[in-house]
Amino acid sequence: MTLSVAAARTSKQQRNNDPLLREGARGPAVARLQRLLEQRGVRPGPLDGIFGPLTAAALERFQAGAGLAADGVAGPRTWESLERPGRGAPTAAQRKGPTFTSGDRHSAIQNAERNLKLLGYDPGTVDQTMDAQTAAAIKAFRADEGSTVKGGALTASVRAALEKAVDGLRHNPYHSRVKPTKQHRRLDAATAQAVAKTFDGLPGVGEGVKGRAVKNIQARLKAAGYDPSRTDGTFDERTAGAVRAFQRRSGLEATGRVDTATWSALKKSYVYANGPTSPAQELGERSAAVKKSEQVLRKLGFKRVKADGTFDERTARAVRAFEKKHRLKVDGKIGARDLEVMKKSLGVHASPSMKRLVRNSRSVAMSMGGFNSLGRCAAGVSAAIQRTYGIFVGGNGNQIDDNLPRSKFKQVHMPLSKALKIPGLILTWERTSTTLGQRFGHTAITWGDGHTTSSDFIERFTTNNGRTGLKIFVPK
C-alpha cells in the first residue's frame, strides 16, 4: 500500500512538472512525450525530441481516442492520460485519427483544404473550418477516386487519400515510350488545332470543354505522372488541377488551361519509339522498357536501383557507373550498345527451376547407375527434364539437342569450365571416345560446383577429354 501511494505521488509530481508542449517545441520533454505515445501504440515518427507534424498528428489521434480535445497540444489532462498506468491497446480512433464534420475547426482541415485546392477542387477559403463548400469539395474528390461513400465528412482515410494524390504531383514530368501510329499523329494534330483556339474568351482548352482533344490531353497528363483521375474527354476541375501541377513543374504559368505553350511541353510526355533503345532510355522515362533495364541492373549488382519502370537519378547513377566500368560513353542513358553490354555482362543465372532440375537429375542418376555409367545418359537426362518441366524429350545423347523445344530452352555459348559453375545447364556432345559414344554422343546436367554432372550416373570430374561437338542449353 505504501509503495502504491508513493508511486501515485511520484506520478502526480511528474504531471505537475510536465510542460505545455505544442508543435515547434524541442528537448527532453518532447522526447518523453514521443516515448509515451509510442508505448500507447500511436507512432509519433522518429523519437528525436522534435515536436513536428508527425508528433502532432499522433498526439491528436491519442487525444481523440482518449476522449480529450484533439488539439495537438500536450497539456495537463493529456499528460495525465498518457501517464495513467494499465492502459491497453490503442483504440481505432487513436490509430486512425478523428473525423471532422460541419462546424469543426482544426489544422488538419486546413491542410485538407490546401490539398483539395492543389488537386483543382474549390473548398472555399482555406480557414481550417468544415463548411458546406469544403464538404462539397470532399464529395467531388471521393467521387473522382471511385469511392462508394457519398458523404462530405473529412475522415482519416480521406486525408490519407488527399496526401497520396498530392504527393503524386510532386515530381518533374515523366515521359512514356509509345510506338507511333497514324491515329497518334491525327490526334496530336487535332489537339494542336484545339489548343490554338479560344473558348469562352480565353486562349486554349479549359474546364467545361469536351472532346477527343481533351481525351488526348488527359492521356498525356497521365503519362507525365499527373493523373487527372479520368480520361473520358471531359475537362473537369481535377483535370485543371493536374494541368496546373504540370505547368508549375514545367516553368509555365499555372493557369489550368492548355494553350499552345502548354501543349508543346505536354506532348513530350510521349516518346515515339521503334524499340527499347531507339531513342535511348533516359532520365524521366517511365516505361516497361525501363523496368526491364532496371531489372538487369539489379542483377548486375546495382541494388539501389528500383525496378519500378521509372528512370530516376538512382537509375542514371547506376548506368553511369556501368558505362564507366565497361568503357562506354558515359552519359547516363541506355542506348543499344549499353543494353547489349549489360545483357552480355549478365550471363546465365540459375533460376529456381534449374536448381530443381539438378536435384531431380541427381535423384535419377542415383536410381540408375549411381557413380557408374550404364550407357543410358539420354534416358537419365530425359527423365530429369520430365520430372522438372513435364516435358518429354526423346533421342540419344547427340539427338537431345535437336529435340529440346526452343520455346523452353535456349542455346548459349561459353567454355565448359564456365558452364560447370552454373547449376541446371544441359550439356550435349556429338561424339565421345567410347564405342557407344562414337554413335550416340553424350548428354548431362551440370551441378554448378565446377566439376560434377549427372545423367544415368554421376560424373564427379567432367571434362572435354575425348569428347567433341559440345552444345550448351539453358532453360528459359
pLDDT digits (tens, 9 = 90+) for 189-243: 999 999 999 888 899 999 999 999 999 999 999 999 999 999 999 999 999 999 9
Select 352-475's CATH number: 3.90.1720.10, 3.10.129.10, 4.10.95.10, 3.40.1640.10: 3.90.1720.10
- pLDDT at res. 3: 38
Whole-angstrom distance, CA of residue 464 vs CA of residue 469: 10
Please state which of the ranges 222-236, 345-359, 405-419 shows the lowest mean pLDDT.
345-359
Contacts of 384 (CB under 8 A, 6+ apart): 357, 360, 361, 363, 364, 445, 454
pLDDT tier, 170 (very low <50, low <70, confident <90, very high otherwise): confident
pLDDT above 90 (res 65) = no
**82 versus 338: which is more confidently predicted?**
338
Please state which of the ranges 3-17, 101-115, 305-319 shows the lowest mean pLDDT.
3-17
Whole-angstrom distance, CA of residue 32 vs CA of residue 61: 17
pLDDT above 90 (res 167) = no
**Regarding the domain delimited by 288-346, which CATH topology (the fold level of the hierarchy) does it fall under?**
Muramoyl-pentapeptide Carboxypeptidase; domain 1 (1.10.101)
pLDDT above 90 (res 283) = yes
- pLDDT at res. 6: 39
Q: What cell does 239 get? A: 483535370
Contact criterion met (CB below 8 Å) for 204 and 257: yes
**18 versus 188: which is more confidently predicted?**
188
- What's the CATH architecture for 2-83? Orthogonal Bundle (1.10)
In this predicted model, what pLDDT tens digit does every residue of 80-104 receive, in sequence order?
A: 888 876 554 555 555 556 788 888 8
If one counts every other C-beta atom within 10 angstroms of the C-beta of residue 160, the result is 12
Output the average pLDDT for the chain.
Answer: 88
Contact criterion met (CB below 8 Å) for 191 and 243: no
In this predicted model, what pLDDT tens digit does every residue of 370-383 receive, in sequence order?
A: 999 998 999 999 99
The residues facing 100 across adjacent strands are 154
At the fourth CATH level, the homologous superfamily of domain 176-272 is PGBD-like superfamily/PGBD (1.10.101.10)
Whole-angstrom distance, CA of residue 136 vs CA of residue 123: 7
pLDDT above 90 (res 329) = yes
pLDDT tier, 8 (very low <50, low <70, confident <90, very high otherwise): very low
Whole-angstrom distance, CA of residue 139 vs CA of residue 118: 16
Contact criterion met (CB below 8 Å) for 344 and 319: no
Contact criterion met (CB below 8 Å) for 97 and 61: yes
pLDDT tier, 9 (very low <50, low <70, confident <90, very high otherwise): very low
- pLDDT at res. 2: 41
Q: Give the DSSP H or E segment for 2.
A: helix 2-17
| Residue given cell 477559403 in the structure block | 125
- pLDDT at res. 11: 45
Whole-angstrom distance, CA of residue 92 vs CA of residue 156: 11
pLDDT above 60 (res 456) = yes
pLDDT tier, 10 (very low <50, low <70, confident <90, very high otherwise): very low
- pLDDT at res. 5: 40
Please state which of the ranges 217-231, 254-268, 426-440 shows the lowest mean pLDDT.
426-440
- pLDDT at res. 1: 39
pLDDT above 80 (res 14) = no
Q: What cell does 44 get? A: 509519433
Q: What cell does 277 get? A: 533503345
Whole-angstrom distance, CA of residue 190 vs CA of residue 183: 11
- pLDDT at res. 44: 84
